[in-house]
Structures are given as structure tokens and as C-alpha cells.
Structure 1
């Protein structure tokens, strides 16, 4: 740009820049003075304030305001964190222990799968079927007695409590089975036999040599002995006839509340108690996840052996053949349900079972006492007491007769309601329709007018009820009782001990081999079976049902999956559970979650003909319609149904998402 009228300077301007950027040049003397001034200034700045100055400064309005502001912020933050933690605890659904969320599947090992073709099922056979067990959606396998035995009482005449029945395999086979099932996420429960041993057991042989109660040997008081060679009282065994037998060794009598080959232990003996604890530890060390105490009600009897039990005035002797005295003819005040049994259970639960229960590895304690509801509830213990986790409820398993007349929806609803209402606070319910001492559920309840049996609606009811369901092997495919004709030679000790009533007492009807396929031996074995196969195995078998989406097996799997996937079936809010509706034919109830997930309605028709039910009119909280999650014949899954006019065929049931 031109100078615009100004003359160009005869020298160039120098850009001095910003004043702060001008470097001061000083000589050496000035440097010394400048350095000394800087030191003096820094020392003045770094001089500490006195206590009085600090106090005066801290009390200024500005700093008091800053401190209170900071404290308030911290307090609000702490409250927010606490509120969030409480909210998470309250809102998050409670995680239940494994035995409360699972389905327990009982197996009679002699009848499940034979791998060495001797005609007897074995432990390897169960191991071989681990994939099948996993596919069922069950979470625990419960084995009836696997202990070494005399072979007379289906494993309950134990000769070695730390050994395995030779027909079933070896201890190594058992360990392999536990590993295989654990690898599938399936727990293992064993039947324990605390009440008796075999008369061939080493302890009994040693005890019978000196039953005087003296100090002759360690075992002399391990069993219940009477000094008399004849029965000291009128006690009757559960198998019929006197509960006492004379020993040919010492000429005294021993107590056997079951068969004479099963002498009763004396639980007042401390040495015996320690032996049994040691045995429990042995199996828990092997990885067993729980024990069922079989025959627990007989553990103690009165110590006064001269006391007779009173006659049962309601006993009907017309139900029995022959002259043998029957167990039901007496009231068993002195031989059953002794209160001392409760002390043993509490000692086990709070002692050895808790000792072996670790994170994720709780050891469950079950009992089976064939007693009324009041006695069964005692095995739970009162609120705050720890005894049995699962005292088995057999009331549904006792039902028998034609559905719709002898057994009705009202009966079933009453049993369910009583079991839940009578439950002690903090305890957990359980239900079952079948086990190895009860006729098969598909055979107990007759047929519909169309010839259908009731296995499907029973399974549906069982798998959607509150609590832990217990299923019996083969019930998932609708296995039925086998027929035993007049020429049949009974193998059950119950039948052998009372021949005149063998057909009524034997358990062999429900012990037939598992029906795996339609081959000659049903896939159980290749050449023989210890008891005959049901003739209908060509139609009712696992292989056929695995290939059918409409089969009972497919329904069973769909129900176990529904149960495991939905909080409505996995919560502990069953105290609010009630039967929504019950008639002679129909039972209906809802299952509510403990979060905002889906609610479900189960409705089953136990009648012999079709029904139509209006649930919306009965309870306006029930919506007008819902979507079927699972139907008994798998043909209505996904359908929308009107809940004010639910039509069900005989022996049909629905689980509906509402």
C-alpha cells in the first residue's frame, strides 16, 4: 500500500512485539540483585500461616459455604447409592436354591437300562442315558437304594452301607454316574436306609452273638433285642405278622418293623449313631447332592417293650385274605413317629448336611414317612428350625379310582390346598403322583369315554403346581402297570411275606423295565429281563414319542422348559396361591411371577366327558382371552382361547399365558 501522501521514512521500523515478550538484558551485577530479590519474594510467599490466621481464614463466609455445599453433595450421593441398592434388592427376583427350582426324577435302577445283558438294570445304563435325562429338563435324579444287599428286599436289606449292589455295578460305576450327571447339570439324590440293615450284615451277626446289653462287643446293642424268645408285645410288622423274630444264635428276639430279614437298628445307641454319620459323610464325599431318609418314621420305638399297641377300631379285615395279622389293625403309638426322630433330623441338617453344603452345592435332606399331613409337617420343623428340606407329601400319590367319580377335581384341589395351608412358615411344598411303591398314575385312574388315560393332565398339573415336583421314571411317556397272572412267581418281599395278599401288596406292577423302543426287550436289554416287559411297549416307548411333536414326552419336555424359563413357576410367592376353581371334573389355578413377567393359568379336565368353563365370570381379574402356552395333546399351542368359555375334552388340559 502506498504512503498516501507521507514521505517514506529513511529508516525501517522495528516490531517490538508484546511487552511481555521483550527479553530483559542485565549484566552480572544486576543478575545477583535480581536473584536475591526473587529468593526474598518466594520466601515471603512460602511462609506458613499461623494457627490464628488459619482459624480466621476458615471461618470466612466463603469457606463455610464451600464446606457445607460439599457435605450436602456427599450426603445426597450416599443416600442415592443406598436407595439404589435397596431398590435393586427389592426389585430383583429372589434366586431360589437348586432343589426348589428343579424337577426330581426317581429311578428304580434295576429297571432302567441293562448294559451287561444279565437282565438287571445297572448304573452304567443310567450313565448311558444321561443325554436323555438332560433332554427331559429335569434337574435331579433320585435313585432308590443302590447299596450292597441280601437281594431279598429290592436293596433295602443292606449288607454294606458303603458298597454298591453287585447287580448294579461297582463304586467306580457310581462315581462315573455322578460325574456324568453333574456334567449335564443334574444333581444326584440317594435313598438312605437308616432304620434297618440286612440280617446278613456284619453288625447284626456280631450283635446276635452278644445281645445282653453288656460290654461283650461294640455291636451288642446296635439292634433292638428282647430277652424273651417269644414276642414281648403285640407289635405287628408293616409286612404282616409279628414284628419280632427269635434269633437262633442267642435265643432272643429282635425287632423288625419290616420283613424279618430287615432287623431294626437301636437308635438309642451312640455308637450306631456315629457309624451312620460316617456313612453319610462317605456318600457326601462322593459328590451326592442329597439323601432321602427312607422309612424315617420307624427310627425310634418306645423303650418299654412290654407295651401293647391299641386296636384300630376302623380296621376292615374284609379287605384282606388269610389269617395273618395286618399292620393296619393296630394304632401305632409306640412304634412310629417318635419325637426323638426329630432330634436326629435336626442334628443331621444343622451338622453334616450343612457342613457339606457349599456355595452352589447345597445338600438337600428328604424324608419319606407314609403318615398323615400333621406328622409329615413335623419333619419340616417349626419356623426357624432346620430339619428336612423335602418331607415327601404322598397325598396325591395315594389317590386311586375312576376319575370323575371315585377321584374328582374337588379331591385333588383339597389335597393341594391343605398341603400349602398347613405348611410351616418359611418351608417349601412338594407334590408327586407316582413312585416305586405306588401303582403307576396312568393306570390308577381309569379311562375316559374315548379310552384315554389321565397321564397327560396329571403331568400338566404336577409340573405347574407350586413347590418341587417329583416324577417317577416312565411317567413322562405314560407307562402303565404290567399284568401279573395267577401263575406269576412274586419277587417282592411284601408279597412273599404275605402270600394270601400277594397280588394286593406287591410293588412289581410299577417296576417293569423302562420302555425305550419297540424291540422284543424294549431296548432295556438284548436277551432277558428280571421282570417282564409291558405288552404295550411297541406303542408306548421313548423312541416313538421322541419322533412325535404331539406325544406325551414332547408335552413333558415343553412343560419343564416352560417351568424353568418363567418366573411364575420359579418364585417363592406360593403363599398367595389358591385354587381358582374346582368342580367334580375341573381344577384351575393361576401362577403369578414375583416380577413384571407373564402370569399363567392352568386348567385341567379330570372328567370322563368334555366341559365348558367360564373363568372370567368367576373372577373378573381373569381376562377375556389368553394364549395357550402348552396343551396336553400339543395341538392347541399358540392358539388364542376365550377364558369365558374354555372348552376342554376329557383328560385335556391347558397352560395359558394370561
Structure 2
């Protein structure tokens, strides 16, 4: 007979076993029907790999197999490292040598901006007005201002000539205003040059006659005075006459002996102006006058494409391009737009001057196509960015003129900025590729930098220029259009370099990379 306690335990065990075999409903209750069972598996304990112990590692590391593996891996590392080092050396040895950047001066680094009439340049009409507009001028990336003359002298009266401080025309400003202008300009990286042409109001810039010794002595004293004061150079007109005067060499000597190193080395410039001379005469004076930069009206006097190309090539072959200045108008005090004749040619001549080797010189307002209507200097326009007020009556002709000037200035700024950044345009070689009656194309290249092809057509009819490679100027099949005034040559498009067709008054700047 079973005890009462034992019966109770067995009954409980049977109940537990019976409940484990019952099907489960959705809500967890035990179903009445026994149509399935639920098996519950107890998960096994997870075994984690904790790695080898220190003793086990030491034991394995000391085996012969592992020691051989370690030596093999070490040898492979050093072989790979030495292979990479050898490859780097081969690449360096076989790579083309970089050509050293030539020494340049501040007048080689960007265009020069000539302001000869202060009353036309600003409402102030004095030196102070130039300082007030210096930020606007600085946007053009110019590297120097050509100012004056400022001194007082009666026309053709050498006895009244005084080129130093006390002779500054009071209607044009004061010494303090000039010093303030120079200080602000230097902070912006712009140099200041004074025009000291003695008889600038008379018929002959150097008076003529027997007074040359007296004039030269006064000029030498004035040059030293202004250069000591901080002026970055002096400019003299009619270099053909000046360079033949007694004791002329004292002027270049005074200039070169006044080079300073206040903050950075700042070389002083002697700039000469020559008018009405041939390319041969310009070249001779470049070699004999000792000037640092010679500005001529050569491009104004020569109008044919083949003749211009020949003159440019000859000057650059026989002279240092750092001493050659190019202008269309500034040498004679004429605005570029007057030389261009048509608005379309303003952009074309911007392109030409800013891509030739040497230094481009512009007269104030050339960047916006300013044009004189008579003998008087045209007033500079400073409000071209100002659009007509909404709802106001608009003069369509005046508005079209304003928009054109905005485009001229934008184009000038792009070109000037590009010239300062691209080595091929800044100090690269020049090679004529093609020329015709009213068009020309040339190549600018420097070492391993991108190359540039410039094509311009100032004629009244379309023209096709056939481009030819030379031994020193190799051309690829195609180039990219970097800038263009011709609607048929879309910017960033690839065009064939075998032949370039330009519309009348159109120009283009093409770019292609250096290939070894």
C-alpha cells in the first residue's frame, strides 16, 4: 500500500509530463485537443575562442615551421620595399626635367595701366581720385600704374623746367597725395611709375637745340629724387631722341643703382616710349638704349597679319621678351577702341595684347571700350554695373552700350587673370603658326605646362588659317576652346587644329595639354 505523500509526488510528475505534451494556442493556453506536441530544446552553452595563451604562443613561435614562415615573410617585405624604391628612382630619372622659371620683374607679371589725364579719370581730377579708384583698377590684375606727367613747365621754355617735388602741378595734387597713393598701391602689389618727359606740353619732348646738357642734368637729379622717394620707375617719351643726348647713360645708371629691397626685391624700371619707328629700329633701341621696357606703336602702324606676325617674331628672336611692351593706342595717348574701329574688335585686341610675350600696356578705359569722340580725353565711366531702376524709362541704345561695356570689362578680367596664372602665357615661347592679310595664329608654350593657340581675324570677311607644326612647335589633332568671341567656336568644345575658321572681327584662345 502506497503512502499518501508518494502518491502526491507521482501525480504531480504526471501532470507536468502531460502539460508538456499539450499543443499551445495563440494566447499560450493549453489546447484541449492533443493533436501535436511542442519540443523544448535547452540551448547548449556557447563556446568562445579566447586565443592562445602566452605559453602556447611561445611554444608555437619556437617551432621550425613557424620560424621558416617568418623569415619568408620578412624577405618578401624587403624585396617588395626595395622594388618600390627602385621603381620610384626609375620614374624620377626618366621623367622630363622641369625647366627653371626665368627671372622676371614686376612689369613682366601683368598689364600696365596708363593714366595721363587725371581730370578725365575721376571726378576728383587729382591724384587722390586715382587712390579712390584703386580697388576697381586692382580687379583688372594690373601690375603697374603709369602716371603723369605731373610737373609744371611752360611749353618750350626750358628755364621753367623743374621736375622735382616742388614742381608738382597743384591742380593735379600734392606730394602727400602721391605718397599715400604709392603706399596703398604697394600694399596691393601695384607699382607706380612717373612720366618725367621734360617738355610734355611743347612740340618737342626734349626741347631741342643746345639745352640738352641742362635738361639731362635736371632729369638725372629728378630721377634720383623720385626713386629715392619710393617711385618704382620713370617713363620717358621720344626715346629715339633721348638716347642720343649727351650723358643719356646716366639715366639708366641712376635707375639701376636705385633698386631696393624694402620688403621684397623691387627693381626700378626705366620705361621708354617710341613712336613711328620700324620693327628694326625698335629692336636696335632695345639693344642700345639700356631701358628696361620699351613701348612702341608698332602694332598700330603695321596693320597686315603677315607683317605683324613677322615683326613680332623678329623682335622676340633678337631681344629679351621681358623688355618688349605692346600696345594699341597707349603709346600715342589714343584709346584702344579708337584703333579698333568696331566694337567687335575691342575684345579681339584685348586677346591679342594679353597673350603676346612681353608686357601689355593699356590706356585708362580700354578695358570697357572707352572711346574719344574728339581731341579731348573721354571721361572714364565708373557706373556701368548699375542697371536701370525697375519701371524706369530705358534708352535702348544707352542700355545696349552699357551692357557691352560690362561684357568688355568681364572679358578683360578673365584674360588678365588667365595670363597671370598660366606659365605658357606669362613667360612661354612664341611661335607663329599662320598668317594672312588680316589674321594670324600663334602658339604659346612653356616646358610641361598647357599650351595655348591664339587665333585672331581683324578683317571684314571670314578667314581660314591653316596651322602648321614646326620642329619646336608640335600640334595635336585637336584642342579645346578656352575662350572665344566667335559663336561658331563654342567654349569647351574640341576643334581641329589642322585649320581654324574665324568670322570677321573674331578671335579664339585654344588650349591643349603637354605630352612627353
Q: Does TM, normalized by the shorter one, top 0.5?
A: yes
Alpha carbons of 1:295 and 1:605: their partners in 2 closer, same or farther (altered >3 Å)?
closer
Corresponding residue for residue 301 of structure 2: 398
Corresponding residue for residue 355 of structure 1: 258
Alpha carbons of 1:428 and 1:88: their partners in 2 closer, same or farther (altered >3 Å)?
farther
Task: State how far apart, in whole Å, the 1-side matches of 2:315 and 2:508 are.
Answer: 23
Report if the CA contact (8 A) 2:196-2:234 is conserved: yes
SS in 1 for 2:459: coil
Partner residue of 1:556 out of 406, 412, 431: 412
Corresponding residue for residue 197 of structure 2: 193
Partner residue of 1:278 out of 217, 221, 224: 221
Corresponding residue for residue 377 of structure 1: 283
Task: State how far apart, in whole Å, the 2-side matches of 1:99 and 1:275 are.
Answer: 26
Corresponding residue for residue 638 of structure 1: 492
Task: State how far apart, in whole Å, the 2-side matches of 1:596 and 1:377 are.
Answer: 30
CA RMSD, aligned part only?
A: 3.5
Tell me by how many angstroms 1:653 deviates. Answer: 0.9
Task: Please give the residue correspondences for 1:212-227 in structure 2 after superposition, counting only pairs within 5 Å.
Answer: none
Alpha carbons of 1:95 and 1:273: their partners in 2 closer, same or farther (altered >3 Å)?
closer
Partner residue of 2:445 out of 574, 577, 592: 592
Report if the CA contact (8 A) 1:294-1:367 is conserved: yes
Q: TM-score, normalised by structure 2?
A: 0.68
Tell me by how many angstroms 1:641 deviates. Answer: 2.3
The answer as to 2:379 corresponding to 1:434 is no
Unaligned 5+ runs, structure 1: 1-83, 199-237, 240-256, 300-336, 400-406, 485-506, 521-535
Q: TM-score, normalised by structure 1?
A: 0.55
Report if the CA contact (8 A) 2:127-2:172 is conserved: yes
Report if the CA contact (8 A) 1:602-1:656 is conserved: yes
Alpha carbons of 1:631 and 1:128: their partners in 2 closer, same or farther (altered >3 Å)?
same
Report if the CA contact (8 A) 2:118-2:172 is conserved: yes
User: Once the two structures are superposed, what CA deviation does each residue of 1:31-57 show, in whole Å capped at 9, x if it has no partner?
Assistant: xxxxxxxxxxxxxxxxxxxxxxxxxxx
Tell me by how many angstroms 1:141 deviates. Answer: 0.9
User: Once the two structures are superposed, what CA deviation does each residue of 1:186-217 show, in whole Å capped at 9, x if it has no partner?
Assistant: 111111124x488xxxxxxxxxxxxxxxxxxx
Partner residue of 2:272 out of 357, 360, 367: 367
Task: State how far apart, in whole Å, the 2-side matches of 1:432 and 1:559 are.
Answer: 16
Report if the CA contact (8 A) 1:197-1:264 is conserved: no
Alpha carbons of 1:294 and 1:444: their partners in 2 closer, same or farther (altered >3 Å)?
closer
Partner residue of 1:466 out of 343, 353, 357: 357
Corresponding residue for residue 626 of structure 1: 479
Report if the CA contact (8 A) 2:152-2:163 is conserved: yes
Larger Rg: 2
Task: State how far apart, in whole Å, the 2-side matches of 1:457 and 1:657 are.
Answer: 17
SS in 1 for 2:213: coil
User: Once the two structures are superposed, what CA deviation does each residue of 1:487-531 show, in whole Å capped at 9, x if it has no partner?
Assistant: xxxxxxxxxxxxxxxxxxxx53xx2111223699xxxxxxxxxxx
Alpha carbons of 1:372 and 1:645: their partners in 2 closer, same or farther (altered >3 Å)?
closer
The answer as to 2:12 corresponding to 1:109 is no
SS in 2 for 1:629: strand
Structure whose residues are more often helix by fraction:
2
Task: State how far apart, in whole Å, the 2-side matches of 1:540 and 1:413 are.
Answer: 32
Task: State how far apart, in whole Å, the 2-side matches of 1:348 and 1:258 are.
Answer: 16
Alpha carbons of 1:618 and 1:348: their partners in 2 closer, same or farther (altered >3 Å)?
closer
Task: State how far apart, in whole Å, the 2-side matches of 1:517 and 1:474 are.
Answer: 12
Corresponding residue for residue 150 of structure 2: 146
SS in 1 for 2:419: helix
Corresponding residue for residue 380 of structure 2: 514
SS in 2 for 1:168: coil
SS in 2 for 1:597: coil
Report if the CA contact (8 A) 1:164-1:171 is conserved: yes
Task: Please give the residue correspondences for 1:159-558 in structure 2 after superposition, counting only pairs within 5 Å.
Answer: 161-162=164-165, 163-194=167-198, 196=199, 239=203, 257=204, 266-269=211-214, 273-299=216-242, 338=244, 340=245, 343-344=247-248, 346-358=249-261, 360-373=265-278, 374-381=280-287, 387-399=290-302, 407-423=303-319, 428-435=323-330, 437-447=332-342, 452-482=343-373, 484=374, 507-508=375-376, 511-517=377-383, 539-540=400-401, 544=403, 551-558=407-414
Task: State how far apart, in whole Å, the 1-side matches of 2:149 and 2:238 are.
Answer: 12
